[in-house]
Structures are given as structure tokens and as C-alpha cells.
Amino acid sequence: MDQPLLTRDRSALTARAEGLRAYVGEDGVAVLEFARPHRRNAVTLAIWQALPEVLAQLAGQEGVRALLVTGAGNTFSAGADIGELAEVYGAAERADAYHAVNVAAEEALAAFPHPTIAVVHGACVGGGCQLAVACDLRFVAEDARLGITPAKLGVVYPAVPTLRLARLVGPARAKYLLFSGELVPGREAVSLGLAERVLPDAELDAAALDFARLLTLRSPQTIGAVKAALAVPPEHAAAALAPWERRSREASDVHEGLAAFLEGRPARF
């Protein structure tokens, strides 16, 4: 059987948790894959715990300039493993610790130093949708289904993912999604603010990979500055940008970009 497009011709890193795979390629694009297709890629505690370390490992790989986050078996992730969640909620202390691990994983994904793109096929639900929301961008299949479902379970999400969703889609749409717990068809995801691009399922991976490769050609200095400014409240954006602005005056990216434009060639950042 052919290797899926996103992981084809890539080197696999050492697995840190069962059901979580990471790959790097010579094109500067890394891939993080949830790989429990028999459970619709439900995220276990071990996967949540491993995510910060795996992301740090990918960030440290020489040449990596963009990250695609996806799921095996044409499903992004059906969310937390419910059987495990039922056990976690057997004691308040275990539930507290579990959600702290969730938040640490999401924060590590949001803080990844290069652009991150969730490539969403099939179900993208609950904790899976939280992880997609923690990415910079979301490319979604028309027939995907997205939703955040704590209201169906009586779970109260921590402030970090709740506010991140509200910043992405706006407070009213966040309430619509969180109050109802209903799943949104992929074709409606753009209008709700949950996706930047929606494509037919068969075209999604190629489009996401092409866009990730495009980003590897852009200035990491500019991209890093944008991520830094938008990761903080507006009143702190100037301070977050200050070191990047100073670097832009002193480093070579601007000189290379201007020279490339004047010479009619691609920039080499």
C-alpha cells in the first residue's frame, strides 16, 4: 500500500508514545501524526504527556521550517480516550493533573517556533479540536466534522483552551460551539472561523503540503515576529515585537530579501 502523501519520503523520529509519530523531510516540513486509527486517533494521557517533548525535538531538528499536524487513517482525532477519561474523573486530583497535562501540550504546540498547520480529515472533536485550534492554521476537508464537546460530558475545560477558541472564532461563536457541543461540517468551518482553507478530501494533503513548503521559503524572522506579537494580549504586542524588530535591523534577512527582489530571484533565507 502506498505511503500517505504527508509522511512519504520522510524520516521517522524515535517514538515517544504509542500512537504518536513524528517525521522530518529534506523539504523543511515536519509532520506530527496521531496514529491510533483503530481508536479514531483518540488521544491518550501518554500522548498528551509526550507532545511537549516531541515538539521540542522537532523544533531542534536542523532545517525544519514548518509543521503539519495530522491523523492516520483519514481521521484527525476523535478527542480524548473516553475510557481513560472516565478513570481520570474517579478523583478530583487526577482530573486536575490530567487537564494540566492537556494545557501543557496545547501550549507547547501553540509556542512551536515555526508555522503549524492542522490538516483535518474526518473527525476533529473535543481534545482533537483543541489541538487543531492550537495550531497557527487549519486546512480542512469538506466532509470533515469539527466540534468541541465538553457540554455532552459535563466536563469544564480550563481557561487556556476556552480563551484560545474565543480569540480564534470570537466569543459568540465560541459559545455556540461550546454550549451545543454539536459537530460542524468541514464546508462550514471557514464561516465559523475554524478553518482558513476548506478543500475536497482528495486534494487536502497536497494543498497543505504545498503551502507548508511555500512557508519554508519565507523569512523565519518575519514569521517569528508575527507569532510573537499575536501570542500575547494586544497591550503586550510591542514588547513582544521589540527583540524581533531589533534583529531585523541587524540580521541579514532584510538585506537578502531586498537584494533578491531587485535581482529578480527567489530570496534565500
Segment 59-69, tens digit of pLDDT: 999 999 999 99
Which tens digits make up the pLDDT trace of 138-163?
999 999 999 999 999 999 999 999 99
Phi, psi of 187 (to 5 degrees): -65, -15
Q: What is the mean pLDDT of residues 101-108?
A: 98
Q: What is the mean pLDDT of residues 73-79?
A: 97
Q: What pLDDT is stored for residue 267 in this prediction?
A: 94
Predicted TM-score of the model (pTM): 0.96
Confidence tier at 3 by pLDDT (50, 70, 90): confident
Give 140's strand partners: 120, 198
Give yes or no for residue 1 having a pLDDT over 70: no
Distance CA 65, CA 25 (A): 10
Give 206's strand partners: none
Distance CA 97, CA 49 (A): 11
Cell reading at 153 = 460530558
Radius of gyration, alpha carbons of the chain = 19
| Residue 23 one-letter amino acid | Y
Cell reading at 151 = 457540554
How much of the chain, in percent, has pLDDT values that exceed 70?
100
**Residues found in the chain:** 269
Give yes or no for residue 103 having a pLDDT over 70: yes
Q: What pLDDT is stored for residue 233 in this prediction?
A: 94
Confidence tier at 51 by pLDDT (50, 70, 90): very high
| Residue 32 one-letter amino acid | L
Q: What is the mean pLDDT of residues 84-93?
A: 92
Residue found by looking up cell 480516550 in the block:
81
Q: What pLDDT is stored for residue 118 in this prediction?
A: 98
DSSP 17: B
Which tens digits make up the pLDDT trace of 215-239?
999 999 999 999 999 999 999 999 9
Give 29's strand partners: 66
| Residue 8 one-letter amino acid | R
| Residues in Cβ contact with 163 at an 8 Å cutoff, skipping those fewer than 6 apart | none
Could you say which architecture CATH assigns to the domain 5-215?
Alpha-Beta Complex (3.90)
Element of type H or E holding 122 = none
Q: What pLDDT is stored for residue 180 in this prediction?
A: 97
Q: What pLDDT is stored for residue 26 in this prediction?
A: 97
Give yes or no for residue 194 having a pLDDT over 90: yes
Q: What is the mean pLDDT of the chain?
A: 96
Contacts of 198-201 with C-beta under 8 Å, sequence gap 24+, read: 198/139, 198/140, 198/141, 198/142, 199/139, 199/140, 199/141, 199/142, 200/141, 200/142, 201/74, 201/121, 201/141, 201/142, 201/143, 201/144
Give yes or no for residue 2 having a pLDDT over 80: no
Cell reading at 50 = 509526550
- Locate the domains of the chain by residue range: 5-215, 220-263
Q: What pLDDT is stored for residue 131 in this prediction?
A: 98
